[in-house]
Amino acid sequence: MSDLTYAKINLDNLTENYGTIKRMTGDCRVICVVKADAYGHGVIPVVRRLRNLGASFFAVANLSEALQVRAATRRADILILGYTDPRCADILVENIITQAIISKSYATKLASAAMSTREQKPVLGHLALNCGMNRVGIDCTDRGVNEASAVLALPGLRINGIFSHLSCADTPNSEYTDKQIAAYNKTVEAIEAKCGKFAINHLCNSAALMQLPCQNQDAVRAGIMLYGLKSTPDTPPLTKPVMELWSTVTHIAHVCKGQPISYGAAFVTERPSRIATVAVGYADGFRRAYAGDVIIPSAGGARAPIVGRICMDMLMIDVTDIPGVTVGTDVMLFGSSGITADDVAARADTIGYEVVTGISKRVPRVYN
């Protein structure tokens, strides 16, 4: 192909991952989280594949993402987990998009905006509770129960779901997670006693699904598990990586001992070396902090170390001990075997989410 750097997206692995999650969750509805361009994998192809597999509910971060999903499927449910300007109430209604109701004041403004439209149709909503994340949501307190009851009575809203988020679900045996679950369940029970049962109740994300399978409620929000990366630091993923990042050797240099490589002269050769330049850099989302080994598949999966600082558009690798590397040789920076996005993340003391969502738009996605 003409692109020197590209991300391979294995939709067959996505298919297998969705099947794994369905088997784990039984009768629970799976809400497929496709925010951030499906975690960098490309939202339209991902949604279309998941719809073909029977997925019928998607979650995103904002209105623009919701409209992308709606363009890919006219029939599925879509939940915006973040904030939408109340002035966009008509867009939510027209596109049958469900909005997270994150506070009483927000609910009042959104309901008022909905009733001010020509058709005066209510906005669909899921009530967000704050059970300890302290990010958004109505507090899990007696006051919060009263606020929720008032929100549910607003004529401009039709709220059929309730949810919250666990802040330490990726920590095994977390006492704080237990406290959050107890607070959430108690608050949901109190609200339902006053206002009736919600049609859908969801608390668990991917990490909670791994650690707390008994807390699946009516639905689970499957995010990073869909894409085959770790949701908990110390537990191998049960699903397969969907993204691989590839690039190409564009230059071979024979460098004498004692010569610096790349910016800052931070690396100096300790022997006569063959240095290959690869057409990928931090502008592609492969950050300077990701320096480590890459894989040369044509050399039996041999690993070559990145030497010198990663540049904006290029990086250099030492192929002195790897015969056969020439201009045009393929290089895998991470993938489904050998070096994963989680491995790259560990080099920068971060998480795989940041690696895959950070692969830039100039890197084309190539689908199997």
> At CA 141, angle to CA 82 and CA 150, rounded to 5?
65
Assess whether pLDDT exceeds 70 at residue 219: yes
Is 169:215 a contact under the CB 8 Å cutoff? no
Please report, for the chain, the start and end positions of each structural domain, with discontinuous segments joined by +.
Answer: 11-227, 243-367
In the set 176, 194, 263, 361, the catalytic residue is 263
Structure tokens at 237: 């993923």
Return the CATH number of the domain spanning residue range 11-227: 3.20.20.10
Judge whether residue 345 has pLDDT over 60: yes
Task: Look at residue 131 and tell me whether its pLDDT is greater than 90.
Answer: yes
What is the average pLDDT value for the chain, to the nearest integer?
A: 96
Specify the pLDDT at position 214: 58
Catalytic residue check, 121: no
Which residues make Cβ contacts (< 8 Å) with residue 297, sequence separation at least 6?
330, 332
pLDDT of amino acid 2: 80
Res 237: pLDDT: 85
Write down the catalytic residue from 35, 106, 230, 240: 35
Predicted pLDDT of residue 173 = 87
Higher pLDDT: 233 or 332? It is 332
Looking at residue 217, its pLDDT comes to 79
Cα 90 from Cα 110, distance rounded (Å)? 10
pLDDT of residue 1: 60
Residue 319, Cβ neighbours under 10 Å: how many?
A: 25
Query: What span, in angstroms and rounded, lies between the C-alpha atoms of 285 and 359?
Result: 4
Is 0.85 surpassed by the pTM of this model?
yes
Task: Tell me: pLDDT of 180 over 90.
Answer: yes
| Percent above pLDDT 70 for the chain | 99
pLDDT tens readout for residues 152-175? 999 999 999 999 999 999 888 899
What whole-number distance in Å separates Cα of residue 9 and Cα of residue 20? 18
Model confidence band, residue 213 (pLDDT cutoffs 50, 70, 90): low
pLDDT in tens, 255-301: 999 999 999 999 999 999 999 999 999 999 999 999 999 999 999 99
Degrees, nearest 5: CA angle 336-337-338: 140
More confident residue, 64 or 231: 64
Cite the DSSP H helix spans in the chain: 11-25, 35-39, 43-52, 63-72, 89-94, 104-115, 142-152, 175-195, 206-211, 341-347, 352-357
- The pLDDT, as a whole number, for residue 215 is 64
Instruction: Indicate if 35 belongs to the active site.
Output: yes
Q: From residue 140, give the alpha-carbon distance in Å to each of 163, 188, 209, 234, 322.
A: 11, 9, 22, 30, 60
pLDDT band (50, 70, 90) for residue 216 = low
What integer is the mean pLDDT of 13-41? 96
The reported pLDDT for the residue numbered 337 is: 84
pLDDT category at 119 given cuts 50, 70, 90 is confident
The span from the CA of 97 to the CA of 93, in Å, is: 6
Segment 325-336 shows an average pLDDT of: 97
> In the CATH scheme, what is the code of domain 243-367?
2.40.37.10
CA distance 186 to 141: 9
Q: Which residue has the higher pLDDT, 211 or 100?
A: 100
